[in-house]
Amino acid sequence: MQDPKSYRIDELAARFGLAARGDASGLVSGVAPLARAEPGQLAFLANSRYVPDLAGTRAGVVVLRAEHADASPSPVLIAPDPYLAYARIAALFDHEPATAPGVHPTAVVAANAHVDAGASVGPGCVIESGARIEAGAVLGPNCVIGTDCTVGSQSRLGANVTLVTRVTLGKRVLIHAGAVLGADGFGIARDGNHWFKVPQLGGVRIGDDCEIGANTTIDRGALEDTVLEADVRLDNQIQIAHNVRIGAHTAMAGCAAVAGSASIGRDCLIGGGAGVLGHLEIADGVTITAMSLVTHSIRAPGTYSSGAPIEENRAWRRNAARMRQLDAMARRIADLEKRLEALTKEHR
């Protein structure tokens, strides 16, 4: 639902440090995609594939780069990063309903748990022994806050979030529905023909301003804590194993997985479905593209990829067959190189 409040275009320009062109007296009361925006709505152009939509847009104003300004039939707001500018403006129209502080009558709170008077605890929540819910925190329906867990001030948990044990959330952490933090890490030792479970005695520490997507899981450490530093952003259905450390401002897309004791640096980008093997180190400023598998430590910033891009099936089957022949081909080429070198020496 969009906020009924409207903003003049020149007001938005001044507020967000943007340059306005065209009639800047118009009002903006919402946002919409470039091709479907109506007068009174703001759209943006950040990706060149949508340039054809610009000529026919009916948007009240378009946020874009300077090189596209002359092609717009609507007033424009010029930004070096249109997507970021759009995000900041769109936040004006994205307001969560106010949540009243207090504990719902159906919630169950242990006698020695602490719930700040300014926190909001929704229906069906369970807050166990030694847990702390700090000022301004909001727990959605049916959340479970386990033993010795802390929910930091102004943090917000969606429905059915579970903090199992020894989980500490910083300030302003956002956790979406169904996420589980602090479950056992996957620690097992072989004992003859059976597995022996290794106790998971650490916890999970989440820094300020982190966001954790729906149904994402973050396991607690075996001895030390699993750690997300400040402003880490995790998409939905991500697996973070025990003792992993993720540096500040790193973002990971959906279905990525990080195995135990891996360390990911600051300001990294991990694409959807990517995997990082255990005990590896990834430097600051690394980008891993979607569906890549990281099998060795990465010591320098940059963009890294693995895997085969999609292609027509018959071509893929032919190439897959040739892949099985690569070792034999390499051996034959090496043998030919040796023969060529010998022949060259003979004729000198």
Q: Compute the distance between CA of residue 124 and CA of residue 138 in angstroms, rounded to an integer.
A: 13
Contact 233, 256 (CB under 8 A): no
Q: Compute the distance between CA of residue 204 and CA of residue 151 in angstroms, rounded to an integer.
A: 12
Query: Exposed e or buried b for every residue in 208-232, given b needs 16+ CB within 10 A?
Result: bbbbbbbebbbbbbbeebbbbbbbb
What is the 3-state secondary structure of the chain? CCCCCCEEHHHHHHHHCCEEECCCCCEECEECCCCCCCCCEEEECCCHHHHHHHCCCCCCEEEECHHHHHHCCCCEEECCCHHHHHHHHHHHHCCCCCCCCEECCCCEECCCCEECCCCEECCCCEECCCCEECCCCEECCCCEEEECCEECCCCEECCCCEEEECEEECCCCEECCCCEEEECCCCEEEECCEEEECCCCCCEEECCCCEECCCCEEECCCCCCEEECCCCEECCCCEECCCCEECCCCEECCCCEECCCCEECCCCEECCCCEECCCCEECCCEEECCCCEECCCECCCEEECCCCCCCCHHHHHHHHHHHCCHHHHHHHHHHHHHHHHHHHHHCC
Which residue in 95, 114, 242, 296 is the catalytic one? 242
Annotation says 347 is catalytic: no
Contact 27, 39 (CB under 8 A): no
Query: What are the tokens at 259?
Result: 């195995």
- Would you please indicate which residues are annotated as catalytic (active-site) residues? 242
